[in-house]
Amino acid sequence: QETLYLLRQGLDTERVMAIRRLKWSTIQDHLVEIAATVPDFSVGAWIDEASVDGVAQGTWQSLKEIKEAFGELDYFQIRLALIVKRSGAKCN
C-alpha cells in the first residue's frame, strides 16, 4: 500500500526505492501485486500494450518459454504482461 501511495503521489520507482529503502526486485514484486489487485493501475511505464498482447496470445507452459519467444522482455515485464490480461490493469 505504501508503494502504491508513493507512486500515486507522482514519484518514480527510483525515488520510491530510496524512500522505502528497498531493492528494485522488491519494488517489482510490489508492482506485480498492485497490477493484480488495483484495476485502474497503469503498467505502461514498464511494458507496452503490444508486448502484453503478444504474451497473452500464447499458450505457455513456463516463463522460460515466454522469455525464449520474447527475448527483449525481462522476467518482470513478462510477469506484468500475464497479470494485465487477468486483472484488467492498463498499459496507458
Is the CB of residue 30 less than 8 Å from the CB of residue 3?
yes
Q: Which residue ranges make up each domain of the chain?
A: 2-87
Distance CA 41, CA 28 (A): 14
Q: Name the amino acid, one letter, at 86.
A: R
Q: What is the pLDDT of residue 56?
A: 87
Q: What is the pLDDT of residue 25?
A: 96
pTM: 0.87
Instruction: State which residues of the chain have pLDDT below 50.
Output: none
Which pLDDT does position 36 carry in this prediction? 93
Provide the pLDDT for residue 91.
78
Specify the pLDDT at position 16.
Answer: 97
The predicted pLDDT at position 92 comes to: 73
